[in-house]
Amino acid sequence: MAEFTVEVREHILIAHSLPDPAFGRAEGMHGATFIVDVTFFREKLSDKNIVVNIGLAHEVLKAVLAPLNYRNLDEKPELAGQLTTTEFLCRYIFDQLAEVIADGMLREDGKALSRLRVTLQESHMARASYEGALPK
């Protein structure tokens, strides 16, 4: 099925540890700067010929990322006991965005969105994504 997309970008700076020997040097406390790309999918354009208002989408993304930015993820109670890998954070951000979209933060355009993809780029050589359907 063909769909239209709009993508917005932001970045966050975090600290965390991945306390498992599988992560090698990343097992200890370290910092990361993630470039966060969010792609909004929609089957048909709105009556204004848009997927979603880009400015509003960017504001919503910034609001969702604010509790993570410049924070030590190891100290966040809602992330306790989690290995906050790049992949995990993609899904976590997806879930936060899905919730605020369902709450109407993207207004009427948000109701017509079909899917969402969250991509975190952790370096020029590595990135991860999570994509899924939005609840109706």
Residue 20, pLDDT score: 95
The band of 135, judged by pLDDT with boundaries at 50, 70 and 90, is confident
Q: What is the DSSP string of the chain?
A: ---EEEEEEEEEEEEE---SGGGGGGGS-EEEEEEEEEEEEESS--TTS-SS-HHHHHHHHHHHHTTTTTEEGGG-GGGTT----HHHHHHHHHHHHHHHHHTTTTHHHHHT--EEEEEEEEETTEEEEEEEEPP-
Residue 97 has pLDDT above 80, yes or no: yes
Residue 100 has pLDDT above 80, yes or no: yes
Residue 89, pLDDT score: 98
Task: Please report where in the chains the tokens 């993820």 appear, as a residue.
Answer: 73
The band of 2, judged by pLDDT with boundaries at 50, 70 and 90, is confident
The band of 136, judged by pLDDT with boundaries at 50, 70 and 90, is confident
Residue 40, pLDDT score: 98
CA distance 44 to 120: 27
Residue 39, pLDDT score: 98
Sorted by where each starts, the structural domains of the chain and their CATH numbers stand as 4-133 (3.30.479.10)
Task: Please report where in the chains the tokens 């965390």 appear, as a residue.
Answer: 16
Mean model confidence pLDDT for the chain: 96
Residue 117, pLDDT score: 98
pTM reported for the whole predicted model: 0.96
Residue 1 has pLDDT above 80, yes or no: no
